[in-house]
Amino acid sequence: MKQNVVGELEQLRASARERVDAAGDQRALEDLRVGLLGKKGELTGVLRQLGSLPAAERAAAGAAANQLKDEIFGWIAERQAALEAKRHTALGDTEWVDMTFVPNPVRRGHLHPLTLILREVKAIFSRLGYEVALGPEVEDEVHNFEALNIPAEHPARDTMDSFYVDADQLLLRTHTSPVQIRYMQSHKPPIRIIAPGAVYRRDATDPSHGSQFYQFEGLVVDHDIRLSDLKGTIEYFARSLFGPDRRIRIVGDHFPFTEPSIGAAVSCGLCGGAGCRSCKAGWLEILGAGMVHPQVLRNGGIDPDHYAGFAFGAGLDRLAMLKYNVSDIRLFLEPDVRFLRQF
Give the residues lining the site for ligand DAH (CB under 6 A).
Answer: 175, 177, 217, 255, 258, 288-290, 311-313
Minimum distance, C-beta of residue 258 to ligand DAH, in the bound complex (Å): 4
Residue 184 contacts residue 300 (beta carbons within 8 Å): yes
Minimum distance from CB of 339 to ligand DAH (Å)? 26
Residue type, 2: K
Q: Which of 10, 4, 20, 21 is nearest to 65 (CA)?
A: 10
Pick the closer one to ligand DAH by CB: 11 or 186. Answer: 186
Other CB atoms within a 10 A radius of the CB of residue 12 amount to: 18
Alpha-carbon distance of 196 to 186, in angstroms, equals 18
In whole angstroms, how close is the CB of 292 to ligand DAH at the nearest point? 7
> Smallest distance from the beta carbon of 156 to ligand DAH, in angstroms?
9
In whole angstroms, what separates CA 271 from the centre of its chain?
Answer: 36
Closest CA relative to residue 316, chosen from 224, 194, 203, 171:
194
Nearest residue (CB) to ligand DAH, 68 versus 329: 329
At 316, the amino acid letter reads L
In the bound complex, what is the minimum distance in angstroms from residue 270's beta carbon to ligand DAH? 25
* Complex with ligand DAH: residue 162 or 267, whichever CB lies closer: 162
Chain residue at closest Cβ approach to ligand DAH: 313
List, as one string, the DSSP characters of 43-88.
HHHHHHHGGGS-HHHHHHHHHHHHHHHHHHHHHHHHHHHHHHHHHH
- Number of C-beta neighbours around residue 104 at 10 A: 5
Taking the complex as a whole, how short is the minimal distance between the CB of residue 251 and ligand DAH, in angstroms?
Answer: 13
The secondary element (H helix, E strand) that includes residue 212 is strand 212-222
Question: How big is the chain, counted in residues?
Answer: 343
Smallest gap from residue 299 Cβ to ligand DAH (A): 14
Q: Of 193 and 279, which has the nearer Cβ to ligand DAH?
A: 193
